[in-house]
Amino acid sequence: MRRRRMGALHVVGEPRVVSFQQQPAAVVAKNGHGPVVEEIHGLIRVYKDGHVERLPAIPTVPCTWGGTGADAPGGVVARDVVVDPATGVWARLYAPMTTTTSAGGGTGGSRPPVVVYFHGGGFCVGSAAWSCYHEFLAQLSARAGCAVMSVDYRLAPEHRLPAAFDDGLAAVRWLRHQASRAAACDDLSWWRARCGFDRVFLMGDSAGASIAFHVAARLGQGHLGALSPLTVRGAVLIQPFFGGEARTVSEKSMAQPPRSALTLATSDCYWRLALPAGASSRDHPWCNPLSRAAPRLETVPLPPVLVCVSETDILRDRNLELCRAMRKAGKCVEQAMYGGVGHAFQVLHNCHLSQPRTQEMLAHIKAFVSAR
């Protein structure tokens, strides 16, 4: 199974483009890849010949780390599985050991709802095996009583968009296959027995929230055909990573601390690396779903949506604008604002308010899921 060692979001710095003339000839010759053409400090370097180097500043951990795993005595059990052998996409599965505390509502009986989760990282870094995501999703599974499928999708710039969206669809296709063989006896029986497949939620943070949005739209448009026996009940977008040529007020004026997970320059660099080769504008529909080039939201089939917004995130105003636009288009939208915290606070724990705000977020997610 594929394992990637990535850089840490909490040490991200400003992007820096380093020209050939700025780099000593000996350094260029030694690495064999030519000069660095894009770099986000502490996270990723892209060389002139296309070679990509990701820096191991956040550890990747096994599914048994922190007391989870197939032999866990209680709480949450976790396991890694291959989703698509052709692309190398895999997922980490979580489920509460007991189903009596699962989120209520719906028709799934005592079986927990299923969350299909996409991690953040600007489409370019991150992993389902990062310790910060393992911790957060184990918490989500235990606190909200959900089974979770955390998808390790392909990354840009080696795999530019729409690769991540395609991998999201592949994950739902894999889940549909598991639902169709719920009575089978195999090494995933333990997980399927804890899944209410008629209550599926798409979820993600940052770039992962963008993936959840686009996958939800594609599913609504019938890209996988009939989903039965799956039923998608909603989507949770945590600090969704979108952009645009016109800057919002928070993008222009929201001061970011040195340890911020996302600055405007970093955001622009991620989009340069993630959008299709030749895409010349951040108003591309995959970056800006409200641009003139994007389908009108009235025509985009979406399930009920919860949008989680951080008060000091540069994406705050863009997230709120998306909420207003979806409501205007007749969509069912809930939003939650988390005061005094910035982008990705729930996984980075990079300020004194991170822990209490994370608990607030988990409570909001549980309430949203329970109502459906």
Catalytic residues: 206, 313, 343
Q: Computed from CA positions of residues 265, 246, 324, 216, in that sequence, does the dihedral angle turn out positive or negative?
A: negative
Q: Which residues are registered as beta bridge partners of 114?
A: 147, 200
Show the CA angle centred on residue 143, arms to residues 150 and 316, nearest 5°.
70
Q: Which residues are registered as beta bridge partners of 338?
A: 310
Helix axes 354-370, 131-144, angle to 10 degrees: 50
Of 195, 209, 189, 173, the residue nearest 315 (C-alpha): 209
The strands making up 76-84's β-sheet, listed across from edge to edge, are 76-84, 89-96, 147-152, 113-118, 196-205, 232-238, 305-310, 333-338
Of 60, 56, 70, the residue nearest 132 (C-alpha): 60
